[in-house]
Amino acid sequence: MDVGRFSLRVTSVLPEFGAAFGQLYAYYPVSVAGGAYDYDIDISPPSLVRRWVRRNCLFRLSGDAPFLPMAVDHAHALFEWGLNWTIGSYAHNFLILHSAVVERGGCGVVLAAASGSGKSTLAAELSLQGWRLLSDEMALIDRDLRLIPCARPVSLKNQSIEVIQARHPTAVMGPPARDTHKGTIAHLPAPKSSIDRNLETAKPRLIIFPKWSADATLRVEPVGSGQAALRLIDQSFNYPLLGRHGFERLVDLVKAAEAWEIEYSSLDDATDALTQLVSERG
C-alpha cells in the first residue's frame, strides 16, 4: 500500500484490524502482487494462544516488536501510533516536525503544537471544509523546502470526537479505541481528494502555533522568526540527528513562512482566522 512517498507491506490475522483498516484506508493505492516496500508492518497476536485467549496484539516492524502488546480492539490505533514511530525513527531524509499540515489555494500551512493543543481537531475541521490534508501528525520537509504529503486518518481524542461528529453528522469515523493511555481514540479517514494528491508537494507559506483554550476570545499574533525556530525545534522528531542540514532547513523554513499564534475556543473563529491569514499573508 502506498501512503504518499512511503510503501508499506501490511499483514494481520486479526479480523477486527482488517475491518478497521479497510474502512480507514479504502482509497489508498494497493498492490496484492507484491513488490518493493519501505516498511514491513504486522499487527498480530504475540503467540497463537493470544489469538484466542485473553486476546491482544503486537505491532511488529520487520519482525521486531518495539511496543508492549495492546488489546485487540486497539489494533488500528496501535497501527497508527506504530507508523508514526516508524516514520519518525527512520525517515531522516526529511526534517520531521510534530505538526499537522494543510493546504489551501497553493498555501501550505504548518500547524505546529504539542499534543493536547487541538491541532488534530483543527486539521480535521479544515479537511472537512475542503482544505487539503497533508498530515495530521507530522510535517515532512525535504531538502528543497517542500512539504511532503502523507495524508492519513486524523486521530481524534475524547471530546474532540464528539465535537467533530456534532459539527459534521455525516462524517464517517473508524471504530473507537476505548480506554487507551490517551483515553478514547477515533480516526477520521483522510478525504479522498487529499489521498489522490498524496504525491503532490506544497510550499510552506504559513507556520501556525494553534492553542485551544476553553472560553478564550480569539487572539491572533505574529511570532518572530527566531522564536518560531526555537518553538519548532521543540516540536522536531529528528532536528539533532540532521545536524547542520537540519539547522539550515529550519532557518530556510522560518524565512519562507510567516509564523503566527492563534489562541481560540471556537473552531469557527480559528477557521475564519486561518482563512484570512491565507488570503492576506499566504
Number of domains in the chain: 1
Q: Show the low-confidence residues of the chain (pLDDT under 70).
A: 48-53
> Would you say residue 78 lies in a domain?
no
Distance CA 47, CA 56 (A): 9
pLDDT at position 115 is 80
pLDDT at position 164 is 98
pLDDT at position 33 is 77
> Would you say residue 25 lies in a domain?
no
pLDDT at position 54 is 75
pLDDT at position 272 is 98
Distance CA 73, CA 90 (A): 27
> Would you say residue 211 lies in a domain?
yes
Check if the beta carbon of residue 132 is closer than 8 Å to that of residue 103: yes
> Would you say residue 180 lies in a domain?
no
> Would you say residue 248 lies in a domain?
yes
> Would you say residue 2 lies in a domain?
no
Distance CA 41, CA 28 (A): 16
pLDDT at position 123 is 98
Residue numbers of the domain that contains 242: 94-152+190-282
Distance CA 116, CA 139 (A): 17
> Would you say residue 50 lies in a domain?
no
> Would you say residue 16 lies in a domain?
no
**Residue type at position 272:** D
* CATH at residue 117: 3.90.228.20
pLDDT at position 117 is 86
What is the reported pTM?
Answer: 0.94
